[in-house]
Structure 1
Amino acid sequence: MGTIAAAQNDGRATSVATARKKPLWRSLGLQVAVSMVLGIAVGLLWPDFATSLKVLGDIFLRLIKTAVAPLVFLTVVVGIVAAGDIKRVGKVGLIAILYFEIVSTVALALGLIFGNAIGVGKGLGQITASAAATKGAEAAAKAAASSHTTFDQFLLNVFPDNFLGAFARGELLQVLVIALIFGFGLMALSPERRAPIESGLNTISTAFFEFIHIIMSLAPIGTFGAVAYAVGSNGTSVLIALAYLVLTFYALVALFILVVLGAICALFGINILHLLRYIREEILIMLGTASSESVLPRLLEKLPSYGPSTQTVGLVLPTGYAFNLDGTSLFMSMGVIFLANAYGVTLSWEQELGILAIMLLTSKGAATVSGGSFVVFAATVTASGILPVDGLALIFGVYRFLSIAVSTCNVIGNTVAAVVVAKIAGEFDGDTLRRVDAAEVN
């Protein structure tokens, strides 16, 4: 297994070097960037036609989702067996959970502090939401009330009641639990009985990565459709009315990535800008699709070439998609301050701390609730009993644009988490990172 892993790492390093020799127009990142510009242009010039292009983005995301659950299962199972030690897996898992809780709490606190400091939402009380936005926000609030209620229900939803059902529903946490138990069960077998199963799983995993490569070639088309729809359906009036919220939230996300995550990376000898450059194509895809799932398969394959072990990446990334949503945390806490200021609700520091405690729980459920970050934000507003639920419509109109930054920050946060946890757990290969540096220089 060690030989196979070494060969894979060498192959990935070689692919990094040869990628430079490809014509510029064949770069997936450039293709996605061009498709984003074209999507914006079409959305502004022909908004009615642009709204019909939503199906292109939806098809791309559907294809990606078909492989996410089985790929997470295969990656985690193969990683556990390759580790060969349950204690090793447990050590990585414990470090990851502690890291997730600390960093997501920092993100929530930063959102509150930043929102208060710049007074986001002040003077916007006169803005009225459209009927469609109001209807959508009310639907999100109802979804939050019905699907995200108590901690017991959230905890119960982590554990599957059907092996295949977890895959069919795309319940990432449930798939992760199944993968952990199956991997530990596989380790309990004798080496002779385990070998053919392990070999088969490796072969299937390789096939799934090739499957993803084919789907990713369609990323520019999916990005074009998604961006054109977002611009065409919202129009310029809504964007101008809430431009301050959007711009300040993007500034907050940039501040969190460069300062907070940058400081964490520097503490462990990693250059955040170097890491961002390494995953630049994935970031561009995120900016176009606003879906974190669209790049998970690519990161599961690509990130081990940066240094963290395949086992650590396979365990930390999928778990982080549910427990380490830094972008969601920033959005929720800043959104709370925005609503309070927009409606003239004065929050005491005790009330803000109380809402912070609520968000520590609700933010962990964004990956398990239909509707994602906006739904759990609606759940937080409803649970607080202080903020006006009607105010959700103010944000709903531009949530599509906010969600781009939310999802991108979530993915970058989890990428940093995988690297840092690998460093702490002693699962980081410095030689691999040096080969990446050498390939980029050449």
Structure 2
Amino acid sequence: MAVQTNVSHPTDSEAASAKPRQPFYARLGFQIVVGIVLGLALGFIAPHLAVQMKILGDIFLRLIKMIVAPLVFLNVVLGIAAAGDLKNVGRIGLRALIYFEIVSTIALIISMVIANLSGVGAGMHLVQSPEAAAAAHETYGKAAHVSFEHFLLTLFPDNFVGAFANGSLLQVLVISIGFGAAVLMLNTEQRASVEHALSRMSDCFFKFVDVIMKFAPLGAFGSIAFAIGSSGMSAVISLGYLLIVMYLSLAFFVVVVLGLVLRLYGFNVFRFLRYFKEEIFLLFATASSESALPRLFEKLEKLGCSRQSVGLVLPTGYAFNLDGTAVYMSLCVMFLANAYGVPLDLHQQFGLLLLMLLTSKGAATVSGGTFIVFAATVTASGLLPIEGLPILFGINRFTSQAVSICNSMGNSVATLVIAKSTGEFDESAARSEYTRVFGSSAGKVI
């Protein structure tokens, strides 16, 4: 297969290289950092006012979620069309799914080992009361009533528009794959006209993303201000050790595990993370993996990944490759077990690990994200007290910030790996992009 050289928005890159560098205060990354700092300050100084700023973060996340489903649809369909035939789509997709399972399993095993060695939750000596257990089951237990058959059924929408309206990423993926296959079945003239129309729509949506991103600093300010104003530091102090272990575990996974993967494919992990620094700031501020998805589509193509690899791997990864979610679930399972004095032998931990491998794949389909999926795992296991779920919900905002960064960077690495391993990567484009972003010497070593 010849190396693909098409980058989705060459005119944007050319325009960016022709312009003088923006002053630091005009850059999105700096503005997001300022929003985070101001949000932190307001949260501590005037917590009641800070709580009211939640509306800003909610508006921004609504705007992002509004754009995610059509972007996924357009990029998957265009990715399939660019692949040329269904055999090539299957080749990329199969490699991606194998990679996802291997890396997700590694994430779960590493975090289970760390959880056992660190003893998160030990010494809390919590006691489960029947009344609290019943209340927690009423609140969270509904998430557990998702059998494999029901999960399989929810993959297939019964309404084309409904899948987009509900924001069900897996259903949108199914529609996109079917529609992309239909495009490949058209004759040459029909296919060319459809691809051209979809490509222009994709360009327009990316411009729409640029408009939405102008509000990112305000969204970051509102989200952080609410998080600090509503919880203060009490939740952080009470579960501080768990947060520290989780952040260190996620950092270890990104820097060491993903770093080794990147090194095998010729990339430096720290330069890779610097390239996505604006998206990382945004993820930290919003605690939502979806917030960076539109920008990741664009920047991965500019980094040399072909449209078909980005369009196929990145959206699929958001549904099936949630490395940060895997780390979160492993640590929180052991936290509850230790906090309530529930002994889990290796056999039980292995069973929970297999259960988490399945349930973590549903994070994109269950309303409420990682925490609700974790609640489903705890309830379905029958081994752990679900009374502890409200305790963990108190720090959900802080854990979600790190988890979303790990999820997004894990999927970005996956896209790069699959693109390089299938011949869908343009190294000269990557070096050119690094030179544009980091300077003339940066492109020599990627």
Amino acid at match of 1:186: V
Instruction: Output the amino acid matched with 1:77.
Output: V
C-alpha displacement at 1:13, in angstroms? 3.9
| Structure 2 residue runs without a partner (length 5+) | 441-446
- Contact 2:235-2:395 at 8 Å conserved across structures: yes
Contact 1:93 1:316 in 2 (8 A): yes
Gaps of 5+ in 1: none
Q: Work out which of the residue numbers 357, 361, 364 in structure 1 matches 2:354.
A: 357
CA distance in 1, matches of 2:46, 2:142: 33
Matching residue of 1:101? 101
1:373 is matched with which residue? 370
Mapped to 2, the partners of 1:74 and 1:393 lie a distance apart of 39
Q: CA offsets per residue over residues 238-279 of structure 1, 9 Å max, x none?
A: 221111111111001000101111111111222111211111
* Partner secondary structure for residue 318 of structure 1: helix
Q: Say if 2:387 is the partner of 1:390.
A: yes
Query: In the alignment, what sits opposite 2:217?
Result: 220
Q: How does 1:41-52 map to 2 (within 5 A)?
A: 41-52=41-52
Partner of 1:39: 39
1:393 Cα offset (Å): 2.1
Amino acid at match of 1:144: A
Does residue 335 in structure 1 map to residue 332 in structure 2? yes
Kindly report which structure 2 residues correspond to 1:92-131, keeping only aligned pairs within 5 A, or say none. Answer: 92-125=92-125
Cα deviation, 1:356-375, whole Å, max 9, x if unaligned, reads 11111111101100111111
C-alpha contact 1:327 1:406 (8 A) present in aligned 2: yes
* Contact kept? 2:141, 2:379, Cα under 8 Å: no
The percent of aligned pairs where both chains have the same amino acid is 52
Q: Distance in 2 between matches of 1:134 and 1:203?
A: 54
* 1:309-335 Cα shifts (integer Å, max 9, x gaps): 111011111111110000100000010
Q: CA offsets per residue over residues 45-100 of structure 1, 9 Å max, x none?
A: 11111111111101001111111111111111122222212211111000000111
CA distance in 2 between counterparts of 1:7 and 1:110 reads 36
Separation of aligned partners in 1, 2:170 and 2:19: 34
Does the Cα contact within 8 Å between 2:127 and 2:340 map onto a contact in 1?
no
The alignment yields a C-alpha RMSD, in angstroms, of 2.3
**Structure 1 residue 288 corresponds to structure 2 residue 285:** yes
Distance in 2, matches of 1:20 and 1:225, equals 31
Q: Which moved more, 1:194-203 or 1:46-55?
A: 194-203
Change (3 A) 1:105 1:38: same
Indicate if the aligned counterparts of 1:136 and 1:396 stay in contact, CA closer than 8 A: no
**Aligned pair 1:72/2:72, yes or no?**
yes
| 1:257/1:139 CA distance change after superposition, 3 Å | farther
The 1:383–1:52 alpha-carbon spacing in structure 2 relative to 1, beyond 3 Å, is same
Structure 1 pair 11/125, CA: closer, same or farther in 2 (3 Å)?
A: farther
Q: How far apart, in 2, do the equivalents of 1:155 and 1:72 lie?
A: 20
Cα pair distance change 1:166/1:120, threshold 3 Å: same
C-alpha displacement at 1:138, in angstroms?
5.2
CA apart distance, 1:17: 3.7
**Whole-Å Cα distance in 2 between the matches of residues 98 and 297 of structure 1?**
25
* In the alignment, structure 1 residue 245 sits paired with structure 2 residue 242: yes
CA contact (8 A) 1:136 1:393 kept: no
CA distance in 1, matches of 2:347, 2:403: 27
TM value normalised by structure 1: 0.94
Q: For each residue in 1:285-305, what CA deviation from the matched residue of structure 2 results, as whole angstroms up to 9, or x when unmatched?
A: 000000111111111111111
Match of 2:311? Answer: 314
Quote the Cα distance in structure 1 between the aligned partners of 2:127 and 2:275: 41
Residue 11 of structure 1 and its aligned partner are, at CA, apart by 3.3
Contact (CA 8 Å) 1:99, 1:417: kept in 2 or not?
yes
Measured in 2, the distance between the counterparts of 1:428 and 1:138 equals 48
Task: Please state if 1:181 is matched with 2:144.
Answer: no
CA distance in 2, matches of 1:403, 1:274: 24
- Higher mean alpha-carbon deviation, 99-108 vs 195-204, is at 195-204
Q: TM-score, normalised by structure 2?
A: 0.93
